[in-house]
Structures are given as structure tokens and as C-alpha cells.
Amino acid sequence: MSAPASPGTVHLAGAGPGDPGLLTVRARELIATVDVILYDRLVGPGIIDGARADAQLVFVGKEGGGEAVPQEETERLMVEHATAGRSVLRLKGGDPFVFGRGGEEALTLRAAGIPFEIVPGITAGIAAPAYAGIPVTHRGLSGAVALITGHRRRDGGPVQELDWDALAAFPGTLVFYMGVRELERIAASLIERGRSPQEPVAVIQDGTLPTQRTVRGTLQDIVGRVAREGVRPPSVTVVGPVAALGEELAWLTPRPLAGLTVAVTRARPQASGLARELAGLGARVVQAPSIRIRALTGPPLDPAPYDLICLTSPNGVERFFERLAPADARSLAAARIAAIGPGTARALLEHGIRADVVPESFVAESLVEALAEIPVSRALIVRPAQARDVLPDALRARGVEVDVVELYETVAEAPPARVLDEALRADYLTFTSSSTVRFFLQAAGEQAISPAARIVSIGPVTSETLREHGLAPHVEASSHDVDGLVAALLADAAASPQADKQ
């Protein structure tokens, strides 16, 4: 195969400090369109969920302070994919040109003749203090801010020692990135060069994320305070009078799931909304999708012969309208439309259709009851492959002519090993369908779910599948949809000793 006429473009983009809401519009556009995404550990949870289903996602970050993927390998992958004509997004936590090695990567691309674009991002040194109520500049307290890396090189290269005399004399706020492991050296060096031991200091872990926490003190006592609190990377350290404003200007209200880790196992496109809601409630969310939705091919669907059309999921709605002939919602005017659950009903509304029948309980048995008094001669049921036959069997027993069309199937998608490990150790492990149960446990293999984890089921069918696999759900939603699942989880967290984790 001949090489492409021209190389693809590499986009060096910042993903911001962690909160997906702080991602730039341009970065979000690129995530949704590029062929390849090379991403770091500090790219916040849920940020790459908008990637194309066929995009190649490659983790090139660091774990545990060590180099998971050497920088040279990351640069080689950028050049290799771009040379093959692919569009590449090199996605970094924060800003690519603020301690992100973006300059090195841009030079490599320029030397290789690869076109590139720089997409700035919000840097953690500004955002994390802001989320902690600390303005890095403030009239009368600080008219300047210095951004400093507190991290020593561990790749064998020479250590660039900081000019501690200049930093101690700096007339403003000092913000140290990646410095929690070097905090004792930082504090001692600043005091030794003349910075006051009583200078206010704030160390902010997981800035802008639901797990954010702040430890405050002075240059003299901050090391001991951080050690007692068990602060870990990623953290930023703010030194200067503005650090003391954090208590007065704190604006993030306590959130009900703060301190808890919740694993989401549903398919990635559907997981995003649930993950955002859980994160907004303060949870640390582990997205471990164990299934993927795959559309099934078939002829166009003609709604004209049917006086009842039943849709059983939001995925089914999307696939139904893709296959609808003619592709016009008005063609459904002669049929009653039934939907299992408000999620399916909302998906129909997005296409301009209001469901005529939505049962109170969101299972097939309830839809059978809701249809009991409705005259039906011919029905179309659109559903996933291998679904239960409760609804078609009940309608056929009434003498209804029933056509069942399977529009999509769920297939296994094993989470990466490190993500699976986090999910197995989560405080809450959520399941939204029987297929998420089967495929998640298949991916886990011999690995056990933490005995402390609480298993959350969206409804009785999923709960039964859990029991078939030897797992008793601790929490079952009374309203069998995502809103019900979140409500049940919140109620359990409020009543559980785990809720005291902060």
C-alpha cells in the first residue's frame, strides 16, 4: 500500500485541570472527530467519552510516579500515525505548554515535517486554587504569580535546580506543580532563603475534581499537615498571603457522594450522562464500560402496517429512526407508540414523538399490563438481540400479529486492566442491564469484587442476573431507570458508614 499523499495533522491540546466542564470547545470538537487520541493520566474522567466509536484511544501517561510510556515512544506514535495520514489528538492534562512537554513534541513534529495545531487549555495552577477559593493574584496581597515545577527529573537527565534566592524574594504568589513529594525541600529552601516561616500555604489535591481537598498551613508546618492527611499527587502548592483567603472564599458546597468511588459499567456513549451526574454529586467516577452497542443491518422499516409500535430502550429508538422508511416522524401518525421507561420516552421526544403508553414500572411485564385494555391487531416490537420474550408472547396470546425486529446487539468490551482494577475496588459498582453484569464479570475473570463494595442494580431483571452469578445486589432502584439508580445510590450512601469518608 502506498503512503498517503500528505500526512495528517497532530493537535497538541490541553484537556484542562480535570473537570470536564472546563474543557475548551475546540478540544471537545477534536475529541469527537480525530482518528487517534493519545492521552495522559491527568486527562479528567469522562473527557474522552465523546470520541468516535472507531477512534483509536492510546494511553501514554504515567502511573505511580514512574514512566508508563517513555516520552520518545509518545513522540514516535504521533509521527507514525500522522505519517499514515491519520488525524491525531495529543491530549494533555492542563495546558500543553505549561509543564506538559508540548514544546518538545512540537519541535519533534516540525523536524518530521508533520503539520500541527496548538490548543491551549486551562492550567491546574490557576484552576485548582480557584476551585479552592484562592485567587492567585489579589490587589494588596499579590500583584504577580510564578508557576514553578516542583518535580525533579527521574529519567536520568540532569536536574535543573531552581533559583531559590529569586523565588524567596519573588513579590507575589508561588504555585508549585507536581511538588507534593518535594514539599519538605520546597518549604525548607524558601525559609532558608528568607521567606517567612509563617507564610500561608495551601496544598490542593485533585483540583477541580469531585475528590478535591485542600490542606492549609504555613511554610513551617505544612509538611507535617500534608503527611498526616495523606495528600497524594496530583497536587499543586500555593505559597503566599492569598492562600489564607481559601477559608473565607470557599464556594464549593459539600456534596453527598464526596469521598466515594462509583464504577459505571454501561456502554460508553450512555455512561457519560450518568458519570457526569455522579461526579456532580461529588463521586469519583470510574468508567469501566463492559459492553458496546453494535447496530444490526437490515431492510428499511415501514411503520404503515402497524397499529402499535413498542420501543424498549433509548438505543432502540436511535436505531429505529435510522432504519425508518420514510425517514419522517409523520409516518408514525397512525400507530400508538409504547415506550418502556422515561429514558426511552425522552429519546422519542427528541425525535418529535410523544409516547402514548409509558408504564409506571419500567419492565416488560408492566408494559404488558399497560397495554391490556388497548385494542391491537398488529404490533411491531423493536429491541436488542437476545431480549426476553415477555412482551411478544403476551401480545400473541391475545391474538395480536407481532413482528419482532432486532436492531442492535450488545457485545463485550473489556475495560483496560488498570480501569478494571479500580472498578473492582470501588465503593459502589453499578449495573444498568443484564448484559453489563455478564460482560463485566467475564472481563473480571478470577478477580474478585472488593467485599466492601456495594452493588447497585437498576431493576429486578438486572438483579436476577446478578443473583444467577452469585452476587446479591445491595441496592435496587425502585424506579428502573438511571434517575432511579442515582436516587437509590444517594439514599444508600446517606445511610451507610461509607458516607463519612471525606
* Beta-strand runs (E) in 127-177: 145-149, 173-177
User: What pLDDT is attached to residue 498?
Assistant: 55
Is there a single domain that holds both residue 225 and residue 146?
A: yes
Over residues 324-350, the mean pLDDT reads 87
Is there a single domain that holds both residue 109 and residue 158?
A: no
- On whether the CB atoms of residues 196 and 261 are closer than 8 A, the answer is no
* Total domains, the chain: 4
Average pLDDT along the chain: 90
Is pTM, for the whole model, over 0.85?
Answer: no
Which residues, 6 or more positions from 376, have their beta carbon under 8 angstroms from its beta carbon?
Answer: 307, 308, 336, 395, 398, 400
* pLDDT tops 80 at residue 502: no
Is there a single domain that holds both residue 178 and residue 239?
A: yes
- Which of 249, 276, 307 terminates a domain? The answer is 249
Encode pLDDT of 278-331 as tens digits.
988 989 889 898 988 888 999 999 999 999 999 988 889 999 999 988 777 788
Instruction: Indicate which residue of 19, 40, 206, 427 is catalytic.
Output: 40
Is there a single domain that holds both residue 171 and residue 139?
A: yes
CB atoms near residue 47 (< 10 Å) = 23
Task: State how far the Cα of 445 lies from the Cα of 415, in Å rounded to an integer.
Answer: 12
Residue 379 forms part of a structural domain: yes
Over residues 492-498, the mean pLDDT reads 82
Is there a single domain that holds both residue 310 and residue 407?
A: yes
Q: What is the 3-state secondary structure (H, E, C) of 251-307?
A: CCCCCCCCCCEEEECCCHHHHHHHHHHHHHCCCEEEECCCEEEEECCCCCECCCCCC
Say what the alpha-carbon torsion angle 188, 191, 197, 202 is, to the nearest 10 degrees: -60
Is there a single domain that holds both residue 166 and residue 208?
A: yes
Q: All 3 cell numbers of residue 439? A: 460482560
501 annotated active-site: no
Nearest to 47 by CA among 282, 294, 279: 279
Q: How far is CA 330 from CA 55, 320, 338, 339, in A?
A: 35, 14, 16, 18
Residue 254 forms part of a structural domain: no
User: What pLDDT is attached to residue 349?
Assistant: 92
62 annotated active-site: yes
Residue 82 maps to which CATH number? 3.40.1010.10
Is there a single domain that holds both residue 309 and residue 406?
A: yes
Residue 219 maps to which CATH number? 3.30.950.10
Say whether 230 sits in a helix, a strand or coil.
coil
Over residues 420-425, the mean pLDDT reads 94
Give the whole-number percent of the chain exceeding pLDDT 70: 93
* pLDDT tops 80 at residue 29: yes
Q: All 3 cell numbers of residue 382? A: 423493536
Is there a single domain that holds both residue 360 and residue 217?
A: no
DSSP class of residue 137? -
Residue 4 forms part of a structural domain: no
Residue 62 forms part of a structural domain: yes
Q: What is the 3-state secondary structure (H, E, C) of 20-74?
A: HHHCCHHHHHHHHHCCEEEECCCCCCCHHHHCCCCCEEEECCCECCECCCCHHHH
Is there a single domain that holds both residue 393 and residue 301?
A: yes
Is there a single domain that holds both residue 333 and residue 420?
A: no
* Of residues 4 and 405, more confidently modeled: 405
User: What pLDDT is attached to residue 50?
Assistant: 80
Task: State how far the Cα of 22 lies from the Cα of 28, in Å rounded to an integer.
Answer: 10
Say what the alpha-carbon torsion angle 415, 58, 66, 108 is, to the nearest 10 degrees: 180
Is there a single domain that holds both residue 367 and residue 424?
A: no
- Which of 366, 386, 412 terminates a domain? The answer is 412
Residues of the domain holding 93: 10-121
Q: All 3 cell numbers of residue 328? A: 419522517
Nearest to 387 by CA among 346, 347, 457, 434: 434
* pLDDT tops 60 at residue 393: yes
Instruction: Indicate which residue of 62, 307, 356, 403 is catalytic.
Output: 62
Query: Residue 156 — very low, low, confident or very high, per pLDDT cuts 50/70/90?
Result: very low
Residue 469 maps to which CATH number? 3.40.50.10090
Residue 117 forms part of a structural domain: yes
Three-point CA angle 144, 145, 151, nearest 5°: 155
Say whether 432 sits in a helix, a strand or coil.
coil
User: What pLDDT is attached to residue 406?
Assistant: 93
Residue 368 forms part of a structural domain: yes
User: What pLDDT is attached to residue 37?
Assistant: 97
* pLDDT tops 90 at residue 154: no
Q: How far is CA 292 from CA 206, 297, 339, 384, 408, in A?
A: 30, 16, 22, 12, 10
The number of CA neighbours under 13 Å toward the Cβ of 291 is 23
Encode pLDDT of 160-173 as tens digits.
578 999 999 999 99
Is there a single domain that holds both residue 236 and residue 282?
A: no
User: What pLDDT is attached to residue 64?
Assistant: 46
Task: State how far the Cα of 362 lies from the Cα of 131, in Å rounded to an integer.
Answer: 39
Residue 39 forms part of a structural domain: yes
Give the whole-number percent of the chain exceeding pLDDT 90: 67
Residue 5 forms part of a structural domain: no
